[in-house]
Every structure is written in structure tokens, then in C-alpha cells.
Amino acid sequence: MALRTLDSLGSLAGKRVIVRVDFNVPLKDGVITDDGRVRAAIPTLRALVEQGARVVAVSHLGRPDGAPDAKYSLAPVATRLAELLDQPVAFATDTVADSARDTVAGLTDGQVAVLENLRFNAGETAKDDATRRAFAEELAALGDVLVSDGFGVVHRKQASVYDLADLLPSAAGLLIEKEVDVLDRLTERPERPYAVVLGGSKVSDKLGVIEHLLPRVDKILVGGGMLFTFLAAQGHKVGKSLLEVDQLDTVRRYMKTARERGVELILPVDAVMASGFAADADHVVAPADALEDTAFGADGMGLDIGPKTAELFADAIRGAKTVFWNGPMGVFEMPAFAAGTKTVAQSLTEVDGLSVVGGGDSAAAVRQLGFADDQFGHISTGGGASLEFLEGKKLPGLEILGWEA
């Protein structure tokens, strides 16, 4: 079956439409530091407002452990949403109790409300089906239909993602529709050459993606902390760099499979080695086969790909027609170790084809480094969900909307 989309719900004028969005934004002292996920929800919310729906936006934020916690309140998000929609947004101070019921009852056609953090109620993430279902039923009483548009949580079997979609007439919003289309292109119909750039800290986080994509891609580029496990698998010493010893045999198997399939596995030729994990740490560039031959010796720690690797990666990326990137190349939060990530991001903006930034830390990195969302073909809003989709896993939040992988 195909994914049910907004059109399948018919006219929504005057109806109470619960929209499961992903407003899980980073906050610092109550201020949103990256509103990308809020902006990503705007097309769907605006489309519903223009239809005359009574819009009830629901989301989680952080991990408040099933009870109210002021530092995880969605109040700042409701304020930002009102600015982006250029209209007032009502805010309920609970999820399904008096404030939520009164706020929803007070909506008129075309108005928008945000309910407080769903995870303030333990039922949202409960493992027990009955507990989760009971919370979903309380949410369902607040709406007539559900529009599911929080792609970042579709890999979770949670009350507002799965059970609520079963209780109410439901369909995917514009964001989920776009995410699924882009990720389906990456797995089933990529334009070639197809390059995948993988970074981040651990190989173990990317095992499923590597396994599933190896038969489908032309090039795999490996950076980030995971690069040191690949270099160690080649017999190189890596000092005190991040190393997953238990993954060495798996990595060697992937390298062998890549050779057999004719997939070009591009590994770093140099890295930035530092005296320690600190923004002001002393650092030097070292060849990949001589990472311990620096002043730091075996105490050196790799915190970024080197400049030669960055250019090697950039050339491979610019030469591709389809590129998927997940995971920064180094500790981009520290300016001294951000150059590799910035070079990779810049090269993605120059792709003559589809360039996809795979959510999570990668999305945060491109924005922190000064890039605009529209410089890329697509920035996914769901790091974990994107990876699980690309691993070929079944995602409960999509299956309940009719999608079959």
C-alpha cells in the first residue's frame, strides 16, 4: 500500500486536526538554538490553517521521564511557531487535562494550538500496550483526525505516533511525504554515481546502513570518529582516538565486500591529531599511516579528518549525482576541528543532483557552520529514523499510515 497523504482525508474545514509534529528542538536557558524542526512543520500547518482546520500541534521535547519538567516545556516553541506562522498560537499547559481540553474547545476555524510536552505523560512512551493505548485514547478525544508529520519519531512505537494513528482517521503530512520520497529515492532509485558519506563517532551506529547500502552505492566515504576503527582494521595505529575494537572484524568484512562488489571505499589519508579533547588542544595533521608519529605519540587523539582527506572527499562528492551524508567528519563544535565537516558540507552544496543531509548532528553542523537549508537538496529532520529507513527496517509510524518498505 502507498502512504496515505493529506488528500485522503478530504475537506478538513472546521475539523479538529491533531498534528503530530517533531518540535524536539535544542534549548539553552529557555531559548531555541536551532528552529529547523519548527520551520520544517510550517508547510503542513499552513496548509491546514488555509483549509480552515482547527489545528492542535502535539510533540515531545527531550526526555522528561514521564512527568512535568519546566526545562522541557514546549512554551518557547509555541512562541516561535506564532512568529513563523504570523498568527497567534494558543498554548495548553498540560497534554490531555483541563488546559488541553479548554484550549482545543476554544479554537475556531484556522486557529492553532500547541499542547504541552507529550512525554510529560508516561503513557506516551510506555512499553505496555494497554498503558500506551489509554493515553492515545485521551489524545484522540481532542481531535477528529490525525496528521502525522513528525518524521523524527516514526521509528518509535509511541502513543501519538502509532496508537493515535490507529484510533483516528490518519494520514501523513507534507514533511513525512517528502522525507519518504527522498529516502525511497536513496534506497530504490538513485541517480548514479551514488556516494554515501558516513561520519559520527561510532561504526556500530552505522552497521545496518553500511550493510543495506553496500549493494546499492558506488562510493562510501568514511570520516568522523568511526574512521579510526577502519584505519585500525588496516593495521594502522590510532593513538587514543575513538576505537571500537569489537568491530574490527566486521569492518574488515565490509572492506572485503566493497572490493568484491566494486564499491569504492574511500578512507582518510590524513587526520588532525590533538593532545586531548579540548577546544584549545594542541593539534597537528598526520598521515593516516603515521598517526602516532607526532609530538603526542601514542597519546594523540584524532578529532577531524585532515585537509588532504577533506579535498579527496569533496572531489568524490562533487562528482556524484546522488549523495547521502550522515555524521560530522570531526568535532565540529570546536572551531579547530570543524574544517573537515565544513569542506564536506560545502561540496554537498555543489552537487549537480540530489544532496541529502541525514538529520541529527549533520543537520546541526551545517547550520552551525553557516549554511542555509536551501543550499542542499534535502535536510532530513530525523537522524535515527532516516538511518533505520536506509537500513531497510520497518518503521511503525509509517506502516500505520499505509507505507510498505
Q: Extract the annotated binding site for (2R)-3-phosphoglycerate.
A: 37, 119, 156
Cα separation, 405 vs 403, whole angstroms: 6
Q: 360, 382, 383, 397: which one is catalytic?
A: 360
What is the strand order of the sheet 89-91 is part of? 89-91, 112-114, 54-58, 16-20, 145-148, 170-172
Compute the Cα dihedral for 99, 101, 103, 106 and give only its sign.
negative
Q: What angle do CA 38, 40, 44 make, to 5 degrees?
A: 100
Is 131 buried (19+), middle (13-18) or exposed (0-12) by CB count in 10 A?
middle
Cis peptide leading into 328, omega within 30 of 0? no
User: Is residue 10 annotated as a catalytic residue, yes or no?
Assistant: no
Cα separation, 175 vs 181, whole angstroms: 10
Residues annotated within a binding site for substrate: 22-24, 37, 60-63, 119, 156
Residue 110, amino acid: G
Q: For 382, left (φ over 0), alpha (ψ -120 to 50), or beta?
A: beta
Q: 202, 216, 318, 321: which one is catalytic?
A: 202
**What are the backbone angles phi and psi of residue 88, rounded to the nearest 5°?**
-60, 145
User: Is residue 16 annotated as a catalytic residue, yes or no?
Assistant: no
Q: 20, 37, 54, 367: which one is catalytic?
A: 37
Residues annotated within a binding site: 22-24, 37, 60-63, 119, 156, 206, 302, 333, 359-362
User: Is residue 216 annotated as a catalytic residue, yes or no?
Assistant: no
- Name the residue among 93, 97, 98 with its Cα closest to residue 114: 93
Q: 52, 319, 353, 384: which one is catalytic?
A: 384
177 Cβ contact list (under 8 Å, min separation 6)? 3, 5, 6
User: Is residue 37 annotated as a catalytic residue, yes or no?
Assistant: yes
Residues annotated within a binding site for ATP: 206, 302, 333, 359-362
* Active-site residue set: 37, 202, 360, 384
